[in-house]
């Protein structure tokens, strides 16, 4: 690669914008005005800040989409983009370099517009006494353009020396600083952060996993309330986005938060009044049920390419009809869910749940015997129980590893996983980290198995019963679906064959030692 | 990376003008391009309004690309960089004489530059020395501008003789005519006899006062007046060179 010179950004004093720069650049330099550009800017990132976490900004400047490094301020890749969508996916971008960058941030989540701004750039060439260009000088004024937000403006000066002329550019900077036009250096990342701040956005604020620091000695009911509240915030963060159907992960995170909530309610026994507990459990179960079909449909739509690749070319095309029907059903299902989320009944649930978690609760009585136990005691007790259950259950699974066995083992694993994650903050990272890693390997296999089973069943059902708006299943589509069922069947059986090996690795002396260390952590 | 030398035993034949314009044209077609001004008179450097750093000298040049890097300067044209000439280059021969394999030294000195640039042009000093030999070894193509006169043709014969004596690959040598004045009988006769034959290129650069004016506006002719006859001839020459590399 050819060496590129690095630009330096300087903050300009507002009053300096009126000054005649040409008089201030110092002997023997002079400025030649090049061009002035006025462009609209839009910044994008995923809901989970994938680009920001990789120290990058996704920026549409004029009609160019570019990836900018927040560390260096340099453009990593760019491509023309005419439209200014409110959101888009990595796969929507035709240019290879830009798409690969976006894909490395997240292939799954949509890039959503964060804010709009305008920039006015005045460009100059810096000449020396030979009238040789030694660098470029740019004056940029950035203005936030968001409704209901105060106008925010930031001006800065960019000096970019040509190769071999860094000293000249330094001389110019010194002269401008001496003349009092500049006030120190700045950076792209600082300006970007200021702009977001002015737009009322704090980068990196959303996390799909609740991060709460628990204290081992605190009564477990307090810890549980904190965890449930953090999980509830995740639900609330995702809920307004569900009906907009921008990407599949809003629903996914929403469902995971729901499942975590239900799991903790089910597993931490004797800490909440049973009556209220069973009412909430019931209501959350119903809410989760309303999202089940939607998630399944999301998964099929995400797998569309994979499904196609499982079939020989002549059987691929008829699948279009299948996905059309699925899309149609998805729209209807989403409409129903959105309607439910707007009901008074749902608002009531959110309200009472939040009060339940935040208002001081009644002192522990007969119906909540464990409420005052230390968090560490309950953590160790429940984790031990859940772990033993996984091991005991896994060992009884015979060589044939039936569907039912694997299904229910998967649920046991999930329960254990949620407990480990909930209580992870009271255990040393080096103890709990490897435990989760080992469990995850087993879960990945079981998850794959169950997904493949569910998909097979669904497709089989689709062959034997009419679809959403096609009365009779065309023979070609039936053939394609039949082909898919076969392919998925073979895929699932390969996964099944791997079960015993994977379980043996989990049920090893090594993992047992790890779990014992975890469980014994508070016993000394 | 391709390396092209502009070489002539005789001065004042339009060697530097060709180096400047060809490297400029190359920087558009195959960016980025580096022009190394090895002629101590520094005409290429002057044409691009560049002044060499004071610390730049022949010893550093021979130490290889790490040292060379620092002295490369951007021209006013985006994909074209220049390694400025320095008066001390007149000592390059003496320095080379102390090297173990002087004829291969230049190629090695260029080192990493080969991954950075698509084309490297050498504007060579007008003499036959150890440096010339080193340049001949390092170049894929040696373009030799000749004014269509008998004296000029003699210098070309001398060059071929030098190649034979030193076991160099004379197939790299591509002579072509410059400063051709159609109204002169001798120019007409010589160009007719040689153009396109015996290794001579098809393209020829006509005499054009605009080429001389390059010293006034200090930029490639093809950047400032691309439609002048000489600029068009440079463009043709570049196309022909492109087919050879």
CB of B45 within 8 A of CB of B52?
Answer: yes
- Report how far Cα A452 is from the mean position of its chain's Cα atoms: 24
- Partner-chain contact B73 A163, CB within 8 Å: yes
The Cα of A166 is separated from the nearest Cα of chain B by a number of Å equal to: 10
One domain, residues A226 and A147: no
- Partner-chain contact B50 A133, CB within 8 Å: no
Q: What is the pLDDT of residues A325-339, one digit of tens each?
A: 899 999 999 999 999
Nearest to B74 among A1, A130, A162 (CB): A162
The Cα of A137 is separated from the nearest Cα of chain B by a number of Å equal to: 14
Instruction: Place A366 in a pLDDT band, splitting at 50, 70 and 90.
Output: confident
Please give the C-alpha separations between residue A210 and each of A46, A213, A256, A350, A383, in angstroms, as whole numbers.
18, 10, 11, 18, 19
**Number of helical H runs and strand E runs in chain A:** 17, 10
In the prediction, which pLDDT does B221 show?
Answer: 95
In the prediction, which pLDDT does B64 show?
Answer: 61
One domain, residues A253 and A168: no
One domain, residues A111 and A259: no
One domain, residues A415 and A487: yes
Give me the mean pLDDT over the A36-60 stretch: 96
One domain, residues A38 and A142: yes
Instruction: Place A524 in a pLDDT band, splitting at 50, 70 and 90.
Output: low
Q: What does residue B81 show for φ and ψ, rounded to 5 degrees?
A: -110, 165
Cβ of residue B72 closer than 8 Å to a chain A Cβ: yes
pLDDT-wise least confident of A19-28, A165-174, A411-420: A19-28
**Which of A164, A165, A168 is the best substitution to test chain B (most B C-beta atoms within 10 A)?**
A164
- Which chain B residues in 138-197 lie under 8 Å from chain A, judged by CB atoms? none
Q: Domain with B135 in it: what CATH number?
A: 3.40.50.300
CB of A51 within 8 A of CB of A69?
Answer: no
One domain, residues A161 and A258: no
Q: What is the pLDDT of residues B128-140, one digit of tens each?
A: 888 888 889 889 9
In the predicted structure, residue A295 carries a pLDDT above the cut 80: yes
**Which of B76, B117, B218, B223 is the best substitution to test chain A (most A C-beta atoms within 10 A)?**
B76
Give me the mean pLDDT over the A243-263 stretch: 95
CB of A165 within 8 A of CB of B74?
Answer: yes
**What's chain B's length in residues?**
245
**Residue predicted with more confidence, A126 or A471:** A126
In the prediction, which pLDDT does A470 show?
Answer: 54
**pLDDT, one tens digit for every residue, chain B (245 residues):** 899 999 998 888 999 999 999 999 999 999 999 999 988 888 999 999 998 777 656 666 666 656 677 788 999 999 999 988 875 566 666 666 677 777 777 777 777 677 889 999 999 988 888 888 888 988 999 999 999 999 999 999 999 999 999 899 999 999 999 999 999 999 999 999 998 888 899 999 999 888 989 988 899 999 999 999 999 999 999 999 999 98
In the predicted structure, residue A385 carries a pLDDT above the cut 80: yes
- Report how far Cα B193 is from the mean position of its chain's Cα atoms: 25
Q: What is the pLDDT of residues A181-207, one digit of tens each?
A: 988 899 999 999 999 999 999 998 888
Complex prediction ipTM: 0.83
In the prediction, which pLDDT does B183 show?
Answer: 93
- Which chain B residues in 84-123 lie under 8 Å from chain A, judged by CB atoms? 115-117
Please state, in angstroms and rounded to a whole number, the distance separating the CA atoms of residues A31 and A156.
17
- Partner-chain contact B49 A1, CB within 8 Å: no
Instruction: Give a yes or no: residue A212 inside a domain.
Output: no
Q: State the total domains in chain A.
A: 2
User: Which residue on chain A is closest to B31 by alpha carbon?
Assistant: A2
Nearest to B73 among A1, A2, A164 (CB): A164
* Structure tokens that stand for A179 in this block: 């003349």
Cβ of residue B78 closer than 8 Å to a chain A Cβ: no
User: Which residue on chain B is closest to A2 by alpha carbon?
Assistant: B116
Buried b (16+ CB within 10 A) or exposed e, B73-111: bbbbbebbbbbbbbebbeebbebbeebeebbebbbebbe
Instruction: Give a yes or no: residue A214 inside a domain.
Output: no
Residue that the structure tokens 């093809």 belong to = B222
In the prediction, which pLDDT does B41 show?
Answer: 85
User: Which residue on chain B is closest to A162 by alpha carbon?
Assistant: B74
One domain, residues A148 and A24: yes
In the prediction, which pLDDT does B62 show?
Answer: 64
Q: What does residue A75 show for φ and ψ, rounded to 5 degrees?
A: -75, 125
Contacting residues of A for B115, CB less than 8 Å apart: 1
Q: Domain with A282 in it: what CATH number?
A: 1.40.20.10
Count of A-B CB contacts under 8 Å: 36
For all residues of chain A together, what is the average pLDDT? 91
In the prediction, which pLDDT does B57 show?
Answer: 61
Domain span at residue B139? 2-244
Instruction: Give a yes or no: residue A352 inside a domain.
Output: yes
- Partner-chain contact A162 B73, CB within 8 Å: yes
In the predicted structure, residue A397 carries a pLDDT above the cut 80: yes
Q: What is the pLDDT of residues A146-167, one digit of tens each?
A: 888 888 899 999 999 999 999 9
In the prediction, which pLDDT does A463 show?
Answer: 86
**Residue predicted with more confidence, B112 or A399:** A399
CB of A165 within 8 A of CB of A173?
Answer: no
User: Which residue on chain B is closest to A128 by alpha carbon?
Assistant: B49
Contacting residues of A for B76, CB less than 8 Å apart: 132-133
Q: State the total domains in chain B.
A: 1
H/E element, A458: helix A429-464
One domain, residues A231 and A153: no
Nearest to B49 among A1, A3, A130 (CB): A130
* Structure tokens that stand for B83 in this block: 């390694």
One domain, residues A291 and A388: yes
**What's chain A's length in residues?**
524
Please state, in angstroms and rounded to a whole number, the distance separating the CA atoms of residues A470 and A455.
20
Instruction: Give a yes or no: residue A206 inside a domain.
Output: no
- Partner-chain contact B72 A164, CB within 8 Å: yes
- Partner-chain contact B71 A131, CB within 8 Å: no
In the prediction, which pLDDT does B91 show?
Answer: 66
One domain, residues A510 and A376: yes
Domain span at residue A266? 220-522
In the prediction, which pLDDT does A33 show?
Answer: 93
Cβ of residue B48 closer than 8 Å to a chain A Cβ: yes
One domain, residues A62 and A171: yes
Q: Domain with A74 in it: what CATH number?
A: 2.40.320.10
CB of A163 within 8 A of CB of B84?
Answer: no
Q: What percent of chain A has pLDDT over 90?
A: 73
DSSP annotation of A15:
G
- Partner-chain contact B73 A165, CB within 8 Å: yes
Nearest to A163 among B53, B74, B115 (CB): B74
One domain, residues A124 and A263: no
Nearest to B71 among A2, A162, A164 (CB): A164
Instruction: Give a yes or no: residue A323 inside a domain.
Output: yes
CB of B135 within 8 A of CB of B238?
Answer: no
């Amino acid at each position: 690669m050819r060496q590129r010179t690095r630009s330096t950004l300087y903050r300009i004093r507002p009053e300096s914008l009126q000054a005649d720069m040409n008089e201030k650049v110092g002997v023997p330099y002079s400025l030649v005005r090049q061009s002035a550009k006025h462009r609209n800017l839009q910044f994008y990132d995923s809901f989970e800040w994938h680009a920001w976490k990789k120290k990058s900004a996704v920026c549409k400047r004029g009609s160019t989409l570019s990836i900018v490094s927040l560390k260096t301020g340099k453009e990593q890749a760019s491509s023309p983009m005419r439209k200014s969508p409110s959101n888009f996916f990595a796969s929507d971008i035709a240019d290879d370099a830009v798409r690969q960058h976006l894909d490395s941030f997240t292939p799954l989540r949509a890039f959503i517009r964060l804010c709009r701004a305008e920039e006015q750039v005045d460009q100059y060439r810096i000449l020396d006494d030979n009238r040789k260009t030694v660098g470029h000088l740019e004056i940029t004024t950035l203005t936030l353009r968001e409704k209901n937000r105060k106008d925010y403006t930031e001006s800065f000066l960019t000096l970019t020396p040509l190769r071999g002329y860094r000293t000249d550019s330094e001389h110019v900077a010194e002269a401008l600083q001496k003349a009092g036009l500049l006030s120190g250096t700045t950076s792209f990342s600082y300006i970007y952060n200021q702009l977001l701040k002015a737009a009322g956005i704090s980068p990196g604020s959303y996390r799909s996993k609740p991060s709460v620091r628990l204290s081992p000695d605190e009564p477990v009911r307090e810890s549980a309330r904190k965890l449930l509240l953090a999980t509830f915030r995740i639900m609330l963060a995702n809920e307004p986005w569900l009906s907009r159907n921008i990407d599949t992960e809003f629903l996914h995170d929403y469902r995971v938060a729901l499942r975590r909530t239900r799991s903790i309610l089910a597993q931490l026994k004797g800490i909440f009044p049973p009556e209220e507990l069973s009412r909430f459990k019931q209501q959350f179960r119903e809410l989760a049920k309303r999202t089940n079909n939607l998630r399944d449909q999301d998964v099929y739509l995400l797998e569309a390419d994979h499904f196609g690749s499982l079939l020989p070319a002549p059987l691929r095309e008829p699948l279009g009809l299948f996905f059309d029907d699925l899309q149609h059903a998805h729209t209807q299902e989403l409409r129903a869910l959105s309607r439910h989320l707007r009901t008074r009944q749902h608002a009531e649930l959110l309200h009472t749940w939040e009060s339940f978690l935040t208002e001081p609760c009644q002192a522990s009585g007969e119906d909540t015997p464990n409420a005052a136990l230390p968090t560490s005691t309950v953590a160790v007790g429940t984790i031990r129980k859940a772990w033993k259950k996984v091991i005991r259950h896994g060992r009884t699974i015979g060589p044939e590893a039936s569907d039912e066995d694997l299904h229910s083992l998967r649920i046991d694993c999930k329960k254990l996983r949620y407990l480990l994650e909930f209580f992870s903050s009271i255990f040393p990272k080096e103890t709990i980290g490897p435990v989760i890693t080992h469990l995850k390997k087993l879960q990945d296999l079981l998850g794959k198995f169950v997904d493949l089973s569910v998909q097979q069943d669904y497709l089989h059902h689709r062959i034997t019963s009419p679809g959403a708006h096609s009365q009779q299943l065309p023979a070609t589509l039936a053939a394609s679906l039949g082909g898919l069922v076969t392919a998925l069947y073979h895929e699932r059986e390969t996964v099944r064959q791997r079960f015993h090996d994977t379980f043996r690795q989990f049920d090893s002396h090594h993992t047992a030692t790890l779990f014992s260390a975890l469980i014994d952590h508070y016993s000394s | 990376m391709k390396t092209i030398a502009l070489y002539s035993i005789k001065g004042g034949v339009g060697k530097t003008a060709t180096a400047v314009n060809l490297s400029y044209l190359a920087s558009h077609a195959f960016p980025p391009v580096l022009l190394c001004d090895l002629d101590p008179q520094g005409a290429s450097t002057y044409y691009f309004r560049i002044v060499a750093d004071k610390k730049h000298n022949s010893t550093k040049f021979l130490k290889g690309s790490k040292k060379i890097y620092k002295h490369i300067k951007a021209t006013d044209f985006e994909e074209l960089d220049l390694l400025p000439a320095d008066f001390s280059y007149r000592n390059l021969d003496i320095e080379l004489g102390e090297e173990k394999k002087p004829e291969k030294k230049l190629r090695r000195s260029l080192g990493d530059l080969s991954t950075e640039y698509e084309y490297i042009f050498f504007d060579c000093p007008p003499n036959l020395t150890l440096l010339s030999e080193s340049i001949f070894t390092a170049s894929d193509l040696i373009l030799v501008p000749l004014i269509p006169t008998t004296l000029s043709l003699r210098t070309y014969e001398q060059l071929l003789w030098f190649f034979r004596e030193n076991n160099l690959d004379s197939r790299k040598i591509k002579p072509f005519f410059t400063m051709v004045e159609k109204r002169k009988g001798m120019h007409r006769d010589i160009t007719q006899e040689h153009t396109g034959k015996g290794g001579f290129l098809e393209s020829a650069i006509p005499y054009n006062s605009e080429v001389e004016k390059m010293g006034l506006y200090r930029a490639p002719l093809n950047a400032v007046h691309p439609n002048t006859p000489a600029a068009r001839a440079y463009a043709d020459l570049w196309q022909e060179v492109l087919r050879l590399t």
